[in-house]
Amino acid sequence: MIHLIYISSATSWPSEDDLKQLLAQSRARNLKLNITGMLLYDNATYMQVLEGREKDVHDIYNSILKDPRNTGNVVLVEEEISQRDFQNWSMGFKILKSCSSEELPGFQDAFNGKLDKELAVKNTSKALALLMGFAKHV
């Protein structure tokens, strides 16, 4: 198994309904392929971790690369894992602007209070820590 973490920019500012539709599509596809993970959204930026068999994770990521709702995808981390961090979530989801500082310790300091693609690319360990912080709440 692997996990793949990427960040991308939204091609437009999605509405709440757009995000719900994206999440429903992601969960349905992930259930079929036994993929788990977490999707964060903030500031017209998506950050996601996908966990599962390497082939399945790559198939999903390749479809994401073709999705017109996002652009400028950057893989932050891709590595083998021995167990899933989000084993109970076909796709967890959080809009970061709705999170309290208690839920996201260090987010304010690491990302200036908003998900920033350039900062995440420069600080992959902090991006990974932000995602994994949600695994503790699973």
Query: Rounded to a whole number, what is the distance in angstroms from the first to the last CA of the chain?
Result: 19
Stretches in the chain below the pLDDT threshold 50: 100-101, 106-110, 138
State pLDDT tens for residues 55-89. 999 999 999 999 999 999 999 999 999 999 888 77
pLDDT of residue 94: 73
Q: Is-above-0.85 flag for pTM?
A: no
Decide the pairing of beta strands 92-95 and 45-52: unpaired
Instruction: Please provide the DSSP assignment of 25-70 as one string.
Output: HHHHHHHHHT-EEEEEEETTEEEEEEEE-HHHHHHHHHHHHH-TTE
The C-alpha angle 64, 65, 67, rounded to 5 degrees, equals 60
pLDDT of residue 111: 57
Chain CA centroid to CA 25, Å: 14
pLDDT of residue 133: 74
pLDDT of residue 5: 93
> Per CATH, which fold does 2-135 belong to?
Alpha-Beta Plaits (3.30.70)
pLDDT of residue 58: 97
pLDDT of residue 104: 52
